Amino acid sequence: MDISRRGLIAGAAVGIGATQIKAHAADTKRALPKDFLWGTAISAYQSEGNNTNADAWLMENIKPTLYKDRSGDSCDSYHRYAEDIALAAKLGFNCYRMGIEWARIEPNQGFYSNAELDHYARVLETCRAHGLKPVVSLNHFTVPLWFAERGGFTVADSPEIFAAFCKKAAEHLGGLMYMATPFNEANIQLLVQIMPGIAKYLPAVKAVLAAAAQATHSPNFSTMAYADPAISTPLMQEAHRKAYTAIKTVRPELLVGISLTTQDIQPVGPNSLADDYRKRLYGDWVDVARTHADFVGVQPYTRFLVDDKGIAMPPKNAVITDAGYEYYPQAVAGTIRWAHQAIGKPIYVTENGIATDDDAQRIKFIDAALASLREAMDDGIPVHSYLYWSLLDNFEWTSGYSKHFGLVAVDLQTFQRTPKPSALHLGAIARSNRI
């Protein structure tokens, strides 16, 4: 059971058979604003390797475990970040969405590592030197082990602790960031709750959490994705609000937004529960976004077809990606329209991608997703970015290294980076700034 949205939605029964968006002829391509952001998204934990102080590292290495592989060296991006950034710039992108690791920066509660802060400053400086605007996630699912041991986001003072980290990061790094989000996919726990058949996974999850508690001698051990959302979601919402305020106090000019897992929820048949499922997926995060965000990052991967019983089973002719859910690039437009109507803040596509070993399918997915994005813009909705997940084939949480979302293949033995045709394809589109 994957702690990322890409794995979680694979557990949902989703439909297929949507009409394909027609490609726009070359002579009718739309010129985008000069400041439109083209790039890729990547998380620190999934690419850096050897983050031994994070809760996920423990979860990989205990028994029982939910993880297919151990992250190990991953792509070694902690040391090879300059190569990755240079490659992204060479491909033609102007933006680099990345994360910084709280577990490295605050290895013990209240102790901040200046060496690690300086490391991430060098990463951001390298982005700037290559003409890439850094969009920074301050948390991408993982937390320091000490934070998980004390109960994570189930403890009353967790918002203050997280906000203090965000303030420290803003003080040291804020001048180098272009935009920031306190959390990646702040509503990830709510996605877990709407998965069909979630109950069958709970014994395995409980066993792993019990093993983690025993290994750390901490009966309160809690990891973000599997915490009880009735307890943790209000605390994470307060953590976001406090983090937003803390960052703005230090860097008032920095754009601070919110990124959400945004799947395209579509009604099917009479008495559809689609509206109910939207409320369950987004909850009060919509209100948080309205009051404490300068922008909203949508991160669509598929759609959920919802009938009068819940998320519908896929039809027999369903095309399923390697991650186990529907091939539906048109979800981009659906989630843009939802965010525009529900939240009303500037919209950025901060993640969108496909798991496949067929790179021709990836190219078709990108083209269809961008056609979808253009349709939303043609409807008058301003959209400010398209960031593909991911630059690299990296560690895909509990799926290990078996799922390939990347534009660039990585040899896990030599760490050689090899751009795929899809990387050149999307890069050429980015250079043209037209869709």
- Tell me the CATH number at 124: 3.20.20.80
Specify the range with the lowest mean pLDDT, choosing from 4-8, 248-252, 369-373, 402-406.
Answer: 4-8
Average pLDDT over residues 180-200: 92
Residues 246-257: b if buried by 16+ CB within 10 A, e if exposed: bbbebbeebbbb
Specify the range with the lowest mean pLDDT, choosing from 19-28, 41-50, 327-336.
Answer: 19-28
What percent of the chain clears pLDDT 70, i.e. is strictly above it?
A: 94
Q: Give yes or no for residue 75 having a pLDDT over 70.
A: yes
Query: Helices 359-378 and 421-432 meet at what angle, rounded to 10?
Result: 20
- The CA R_g of the chain, rounded to the nearest whole Å, is 20
| Nearest Cα to Cα of residue 389 among 57, 47, 59 | 47
Q: Give yes or no for residue 13 having a pLDDT over 90.
A: no
Distance CA 132, CA 281 (A): 32
Encode pLDDT of 296-310 as tens digits.
Answer: 999 999 999 999 999
Chain centroid offset of residue 239 CA: 18
Residues belonging to the chain: 435
Q: Give yes or no for residue 21 having a pLDDT over 60.
A: no
Give residue 42's region: left, alpha or beta (phi > 0; psi -120 to 50).
beta
pTM, two decimals, is: 0.94
Residues 22-34: b if buried by 16+ CB within 10 A, e if exposed: eebeeeeeeebee
Distance CA 266, CA 264 (A): 6
280 phi/psi in degrees, rounded to 5: -70, -35
- 41: containing domain: 5-432
Give the list of residues 6+ apart from residue 140 with CB closer than 8 angstroms, or none: 43, 44, 45, 46, 99, 184
Within a 13 Å sphere around the CA of 339, how many CA atoms are in the beta-carbon half? 34
Both tokens of 231, joined, read 């307890």
Question: Is the pLDDT higher at 6 or at 145?
Answer: 145
- Tell me what pLDDT residue 315 has: 75
Centre a 10 Å sphere on the Cβ of residue 273 and count the other Cβ atoms it contains.
Answer: 18
Average pLDDT over residues 399-421: 98
Q: Give yes or no for residue 163 having a pLDDT over 70.
A: yes
Distance CA 194, CA 191 (A): 5
- The burial class, CB within 10 Å (0-12 / 13-18 / 19+), for 13 is middle
Cα angle 261, 264, 268; round to 5: 140
Return mean pLDDT, the chain: 94
Domains identified in the chain, total number: 1
Average pLDDT over residues 83-88: 98
Given the structure tokens 């109507």, which residue do they identify? 341
Q: Give yes or no for residue 376 having a pLDDT over 50.
A: yes
Give the list of residues 6+ apart from residue 14 with CB closer than 8 angstroms, or none: 302, 303, 304, 305, 311, 312, 314, 318, 325, 326, 328
Encode pLDDT of 280-337 as tens digits.
Answer: 999 999 999 999 999 999 999 999 999 999 999 877 888 999 999 999 999 999 999 9
